[in-house]
Amino acid sequence: MAHAPATPGLVDVHGRAIRYLRISVTDRCDLRCRYCMAEQMTFLPRSALLSLEEIAVIAERFVARGVDKIRLSGGEPLIRRDVSELIRRLGRLVGHGLQELTLTTNGTRLAQHAAALVDAGVRRVNVSLDSLDPDRFRHITRHGDVAQVIAGIRAARDAGLRVKLNTVALRGLNEDELPAILRWCVDEGLDLSLIETMPLGAIDEDRVDRFLPLTAAFDRLSADFPLVRDAHRSGGPARYWRVEGTDTRLGLISPLTANFCDGCNRVRLTTEGKLYLCLGHDDQVDLKAALRDGGLTALDSAIDHGLGRKPARHDFRIQAGAMPAVARHMSVTGG
């Protein structure tokens, strides 16, 4: 099915070329980060999920139509059984339409998968890490072991992967630790991206209490580090600086204080086969149904229909007592 004749490239109704597909291979996670999930979560039944074969077919179709970057995410992608088979299959597309295959992980299983990721063609991974302090990390994740994650990060680096930490800046929780995290990245040869918390899904806290604008975080870091603007682009929304005299880049992802929607080049495929056109909207099309009912012809039509509905921008707001922008959690859509 994946070798049907190519159709025109992917351009949304606002004229933006779509070159980046993020795929959530599972909504499940072995951590319960407070800003991301409720402590008690209801996950999708396994019968509702795309098979790994279906994920591969859909991804191959996007590449045939012009997508040149794929990021696998979750939940935690490395907990899905046999996910390594999917990674190897997609890795064969690198250099054949696909420029980069990457992964976002919480790092808990990275040590055991690092070598296989490199062998499959992955060259760069993002690791979600919001604190280096064991007690604070356990509080944020509800039960995680930061030593396990650090071991995974070092195993990935030593295997030849470029590692970037993704750290959500949280007022009153980890804002005092951000300089130490950046210093650790410099010492370990890692990159760091700071992310503003986003109003996705109901959680057990009010996000306004934890929202830290990255303008404030950057001011603090600028006082401690010589930061120079870097022209590097990763294909995502981050704006980059470099710690002068080092190889460490600092990225800022600011969906609330510095909206980046004008240049959006992304769509997201969920583990149940829904294509979401924007992280902050509920507009979606069912690619699983299209593929199962009509093969690649129906899949192409569904993708085109979705791009015609992609909104111009998200409507994220952080206000006391405000409802989340969308009901689904980040783990459903994929990071």
pLDDT, one tens digit per residue, over 114-134 is 999 999 999 999 999 999 999
Q: For residue 266, say whether it is annotated as part of any ligand binding site.
A: yes
Chain centroid offset of residue 128 CA: 9
The verdict on whether residue 51 carries a ligand-binding annotation is no
Is residue 32 marked as binding?
no
Average pLDDT on 135-160 reads: 97
The two three-digit tokens of residue 174, written as one number: 């980890």
Helix, strand, coil percent content, the chain, rounded in steps of 5:
35, 20, 45
C-alpha to C-alpha distance for 32 and 90, rounded to whole angstroms = 28
Q: Is 124 annotated as a binding residue?
A: no
- Output the average pLDDT for the chain: 88
Continuous segment of H or E residues that includes residue 72: strand 69-73
Quick: pLDDT tens for 222-258: 999 999 999 887 766 788 999 999 999 999 988 655 5
- Binding residue per annotation — 185? no
- Determine whether the annotation assigns residue 61 to a binding site: no
**pTM of the complete model:** 0.88
* pLDDT tens-digit map of 264-310: 899 999 999 999 988 777 789 999 999 999 999 999 999 999 999 88
Q: Is 75 annotated as a binding residue?
A: yes
pLDDT (0 to 100) of residue 1: 43
pLDDT at 259: 60
| Residue 92 marked ligand-binding | no
Mind listing the domains of the chain with CATH numbers? Answer: 20-333 (3.20.20.70)
- The CA-based dihedral angle spanning residues 150, 151, 154, 159, taken in that order and rounded to the nearest 10 degrees: -140
261 is in an annotated binding site: yes
